[in-house]
A and B are shown apart, each in its own frame.
Chain A
């Protein structure tokens, strides 16, 4: 039987890149660029991707790459787009590609500014839930009770993960969506959709990190899929901050199926997992209500 291809065959991301094995962030970029095509400029602030993109004079991407300062993904992309328009180029897609540190933390102000002005580019946050490039320090995207090198086992993260999607929804940007490397067709389609919309598009990709999550590399995609199936990372879209669409409504899977795969959660007690389960259910129900409204 001949399988039908879901994606174009063209590759814009090459072998020889500098990512760890099993890195979700590489797959995210690969699918994203297949959707956006060669007429794309990628803006990358300080992140794992500053490394993955290649060591001078090499580049692992076949499209132009602009490396920018940590907190400037959105403001740099704004300038790139403005410059292109003034040079008469209205068709090139500008893709800001930042990690969770560059998005949830240090880059949030610039992102908020660009969102309020509804600048015309795609902003992807590939979220691996900590500062992985510097050695697994906690970010505001790190989940509740997670181990990182700055939230050690006896004092794991006491705060919940920041809800970046609600922050973006509050800016009423035309399109915001979550995506997962375990659901490549969904990710691909969302990037395609984003490309056709004018204004700021925000795609939040949960990006597995075997190194930082203390996860066997061969389980990278399994973990990404379980994040969706356990409803820890639901796949949905928000249009203009109001119209919520659930893309997948999985049957119930206990959160421990996801948590137990990963060393960063190995310290969790049954009762702590129970608290996480309750939190996940509460947020899931709220999301469903928004989607049904």
Chain B
């Protein structure tokens, strides 16, 4: 069914179609519309799930962990301070190998208070063992929620589906809501191999020592590596059934490009327009949209950027004392290559500042002009 809905509601529909069994959530702007809609689905019976209205994000994730441990499909959504509060349990989820899916609406972290979009909340969770997917459109958000459950349940690691605050969460777009029957076929019920069960009593998460811990961590790393291909397989299967797919990344007009912009989230859409304008003028500018952040698709990035002289990464985040986080990741993916592009790191759009076509053009012009970036991180929308 094709309809015009808010990005948040697209997520809620995705969750409903996945027949999630337990939802535990705590409200935070700009995540609220997701859980409000899910409350309605639960109240109306469209979704047969227990919605636990817990007293904090920390408890939300703890409850999801408990539910997932007995074999129920579990979901939560959060943002900003909420996911920061959850941090301890994000490690717990992946360590416990539970395929929980969370939607995080990217919002800046205080102090000072700010409810606008930037990515520091989810990127601060980089090392928690969660898969992370950054979405460009409402359609992609809905589709990615469905894919994420399938991927997570195959690799026994949790997934975070990430949306830009307001640009995506509160924006109305045409969205195709897939048929329930086809989603049921794509995503069968969750049946874990091991679960808390009095008929098969086992202990989970007990004390370990140095004789076993390294192996458990190695298995997580192997599962992350396995996820690289699982993401692609699941996406291809999804494309066959629903006619849409996204991959781990998308290379847009990168052929023979003298400069490739690298983006994530909604700024990708604006960048497409700018790239088209440059191409119309005969200038070879390309665009690489990165969707999967964990596992980081280094191999595919190297393939896509082979022979490209310059790369401009637009990061809606900042790792203080270093630079844009996607730029850092990209550099580490490229550093062992004999021939590799120059990487320019741009930090823009923090705390909900719009990344305009003008900002993107300035990024392109500077990158084309300079032989080397003059600073470790360049701030094209900074008011000086």
Interface on A for B, CB 8 Å cutoff?
38-41, 43, 50-51, 53-56, 59, 61-69, 71-72, 74-87, 89, 92, 109-110, 112-113, 116-117
Contact = CB atoms under 8 A, between A and B. Distances in A.
B84 interface: no
A38 B204 CA distance: 17
B208 A56 contact: yes
A74 B67 CA distance: 13
Contact of A77 (B50, B66, B68): B66
A40 B197 CA distance: 9
A109 B203 contact: no
Interface of B: 21-22, 24, 48-50, 52-56, 58-60, 62-72, 74, 88-89, 92, 196-198, 200-209, 212
Contacts of A56: 203, 206-209, 212
Given A75-B66, A109-B55, A65 B204 contact: yes
4 A-B pairs with least C-beta separation: A79-B66, A113-B55, A79-B63, A83-B67
B82 to A, nearest CB: 14
A69 B128 CA distance: 15
B64 A112 contact: no
A54 B49 CA distance: 34
Given A68-B62, A86-B22, A87-B72, A80 B196 contact: yes
Contacts, number: 163
A72 B64 contact: no
A82 B55 contact: no
A69 B61 CA distance: 11
B22 to A, nearest CB: 5
Contacts of B53: 117
A113 B72 CA distance: 22
A53 B198 CA distance: 16
Given A56-B207, A78-B54, A82-B67, 10 more contacts: A54-B206, A66-B66, A68-B66, A72-B59, A78-B59, A78-B66, A79-B62, A82-B72, A86-B48, A109-B56
B207 A50 contact: yes
Contacts of B209: 55-56
Given A80-B66, A82-B63, A55 B201 contact: no
B324 to A, nearest CB: 32
Given A41-B198, A56-B208, A79-B74, A66 B69 contact: yes
Contacts of B207: 50-51, 54-56, 67
Contacts of B92: 68-69
Given A68-B66, A92-B198, A82 B22 contact: yes
Contacts of B206: 50, 53-56, 59, 65, 67
B62 A83 contact: no
A121 to B, nearest CB: 10
Contacts of A68: 62, 65-66, 92, 205
B121 to A, nearest CB: 20
Given A53-B203, A75-B63, A83 B55 contact: no
A63 B64 CA distance: 21
A64 to B, nearest CB: 5
Contacts of A79: 22, 24, 52, 62-69, 74
Contacts of B50: 82, 85-86
20 contacts: A41-B196, A50-B206, A56-B208, A59-B202, A59-B206, A62-B201, A65-B201, A65-B202, A66-B196, A68-B62, A68-B65, A69-B62, A71-B58, A75-B54, A78-B59, A82-B72, A83-B70, A110-B54, A112-B55, A113-B59
A89 B21 CA distance: 13
Nearest to A89: B70
B201 A83 contact: no
B306 to A, nearest CB: 45
A86 B48 CA distance: 8
A200 to B, nearest CB: 14
Contacts of A86: 21-22, 48-50, 67, 72
B63 A84 contact: no
Contacts of B66: 43, 66, 68, 75-83
Contacts of B208: 55-56
Contacts of A54: 203, 206-207
B205 A66 contact: yes
Contacts of B48: 86
Nearest to B73: A86
Contacts of A112: 55
A190 to B, nearest CB: 22
Given A39-B198, A67-B203, A86-B50, A110 B22 contact: no
A63 B198 CA distance: 6
Kindly name the residue among A53, A56, A79, A112 whose own CB sees the greatest number of chain B CB atoms within 10 A. A79
A69 B65 CA distance: 10
A65 B64 CA distance: 17
Kindly name the residue among B53, B68, B197 whose own CB sees the greatest number of chain A CB atoms within 10 A. B197
Nearest to A76: B66
A87 B59 contact: no
Nearest to B21: A86
A64 B89 contact: no
A110 B196 contact: no
Contacts of A53: 203, 206
B202 A64 contact: yes
A232 B56 CA distance: 35
A77 B60 CA distance: 12
Contacts of B72: 82-84, 86-87
A110 B52 CA distance: 12
A83 B205 contact: no
B63 A87 contact: no
A131 B59 CA distance: 22
B194 to A, nearest CB: 10
A82 to B, nearest CB: 4
Kindly name the residue among B49, B69, B200 whose own CB sees the greatest number of chain A CB atoms within 10 A. B69
A116 B72 CA distance: 24
Contacts of B22: 79, 82-83, 86
A72 B58 contact: yes
Contacts of B198: 38-41, 63-64, 92
